[in-house]
Amino acid sequence: MKPLSSPILDEKLKEHVLIQYLSRFTTVSEEDAHILLENLDVRSFKKGDILLREGQISPWCYFVLKGCVRQYYLVDGEEKTTNFFTEGTPINLYEGFYKNAPAKYYLVCLEDSYLSVGPPEDTSHPLATKFEPVCRLSSQEESSKYQEMLAMYMIHSPEERYLNLLKTRPDLIERVPQYYLASYLGVTPETLSRIRKRIMSK
Amino acid sequence: MKPLSSPILDEKLKEHVLIQYLSRFTTVSEEDAHILLENLDVRSFKKGDILLREGQISPWCYFVLKGCVRQYYLVDGEEKTTNFFTEGTPINLYEGFYKNAPAKYYLVCLEDSYLSVGPPEDTSHPLATKFEPVCRLSSQEESSKYQEMLAMYMIHSPEERYLNLLKTRPDLIERVPQYYLASYLGVTPETLSRIRKRIMSK
DNA sequence: TTTCTTTCTTGACGAAAATCAATGAAATTG
DNA sequence: CAATTTCATTGATTTTCGTCAAGAAAGAAA
């Protein structure tokens, strides 16, 4: 397991991102928020830090408070980027925690990041029962989101996928190196470069 | 809304599929199973029956007891098949129920099917509280499943995706017309035909 | 700054898939 | 059953993308 850096105590940051996220599924009282933040383990990671390697069985779950985490599979020695987790996104390692199965992919910090780290299910937690439905709602939303992402990927051409990314996640195009985006869109860097050129001249 | 046919009372069928599914997430007592099946609304559908049309706001959730439901998007007048739901699979219409948003896709029965139909969240249900964690676990599994499906789709070529389908869901290749499979794999029917030919001669 | 490395762009060529068109096979219907 | 429709295959051609290779641009480090 990777060494984790020292915990962080920037309450404002946590409040803005995590509490705001939970508020989408329930009403979070001042008091609840306080208890939550007290018990939260927030840690800072450096660009390039590896959260998870292929083959590892990780007991951790993450929530991105700040920064960006890239997911990739290693096939024939080549990195295939499949996801970017940014601010306000949960990273659930279902296989590791529930099925005790080794991960098939890597998780790496693309930027210096603040992540909240913890086991997905802490029944001893003072708010565990209250937040059970919140976890369900969050999971349902995640499930629905990924179903739609899959469908959108299946339906569209690489050029359409790039235009889609421009609309839905314009920040990614700014902060992520283009050859990672290319992989994420399912094309080579050369092709993405040409797609961009094609679009510009319109 | 489509007219639903009359309810079914084949207890054995229900037990085999739904209770078995729930047992993956909790221990279901004889008594629980009985209460569940009593309250279950199972309905029969004919091949071609439409469960959901683009633009509809559906309050229903489904669980496939028997048969197959195809999901597709309509783009430029063309059907793009994005999923096949078969025995033991939940069909959650998150957008419709939680976000009150119109569906972007269609759901059609590919075969005569038995589906359990119901709202996803019936708090008055006698087992609602007990099954809250089950719903969460199920959603988490679904979420993880679709994340992996998306990654696998992104990573592999059409030929690899077909070989993958042969391994993971060989039943689909038997029961689903090839031009639907082609769409699902992201290629034209002609290309799938050639992929199969290529594979045969090895 | 200069150098070195990394990332992006461009061109030439080959491979794979889409498209168009025709034919054959299989299923459905009267 | 034949007639019709639907679906699968095959061939010829075009389009798109991948691969290889060479530079250009942009950052990072000395």
The DSSP string of A125-194 is: STTHHHHHHHHHHHHHHHHHHHHHHHHHHHHS-HHHHHHHHHHH-HHHHHHS-HHHHHHHHTS-HHHHHH
Does residue B80 belong to any structural domain of this protein? yes
Q: What is the dihedral of CA B163, B164, B169, B174, to 10 degrees?
A: -20
**The nucleotide closest to A182 (CA, C1' atoms):** C8
Question: Is residue B2 scored above 50 in pLDDT?
Answer: no
Residues of A with CB below 8 A from B141's CB?
Answer: 94, 98
Does residue A113 belong to any structural domain of this protein? yes
Arithmetic mean of pLDDT over chain B = 89
Question: Is residue B197 scored above 80 in pLDDT?
Answer: yes
Which CATH number fits the domain that encloses residue A75? 2.60.120.10
Phi, psi of B64 (to 5 degrees): -80, 115
Question: Is residue B14 scored above 70 in pLDDT?
Answer: no
Does residue B194 belong to any structural domain of this protein? no
Helix pair B158-168, B178-185: axis angle to 10 deg: 120
Does residue B141 belong to any structural domain of this protein? no
Count of residues in chain B:
202
Interface test with A, best of B94, B100, B104, B137 (most A CBs within 10 A): B94
Question: Is residue B113 scored above 60 in pLDDT?
Answer: yes
Question: Is residue A7 scored above 50 in pLDDT?
Answer: no
Does residue B142 belong to any structural domain of this protein? no
Helix (H/G/I), strand (E/B), else coil: A31: helix
Residues of B with CB below 8 A from A153's CB?
Answer: 150, 153-154
Does residue A16 belong to any structural domain of this protein? yes
Average pLDDT, stretch A136-162?
Answer: 96
Does residue B115 belong to any structural domain of this protein? yes
Total domains present in chain A: 1
* In contact, A43 and A4? CB cutoff 8 Å: yes
Average pLDDT, stretch A78-102?
Answer: 92
| Apex B96 CA angle, B144 and B60, nearest 5 | 90
Q: Residue A120 CB closer than 7 angstroms to strand C? A: no
What is the span of the domain harbouring residue A48? 11-127
* In contact, B50 and B68? CB cutoff 8 Å: no
When comparing pLDDT for B2 and B130, which is higher? B130
**Nearest residue of chain A to residue B135 (CA atoms):** A136
User: CA B190, C1' D11: Å apart?
Assistant: 11
Other C-beta atoms lying within 10 Å of the C-beta of residue A116: 20
pLDDT of residue A16: 76
pLDDT of residue B102: 96
When comparing pLDDT for A124 and A113, which is higher? A113
Average pLDDT, stretch A102-125?
Answer: 86
Residue nearest C11 (alpha carbon to C1')? A190
Does residue A135 belong to any structural domain of this protein? no
Q: Which runs of consecutive H residues, i.e. helices, occur in B82-188?
A: 94, 128-155, 158-168, 170-175, 178-185
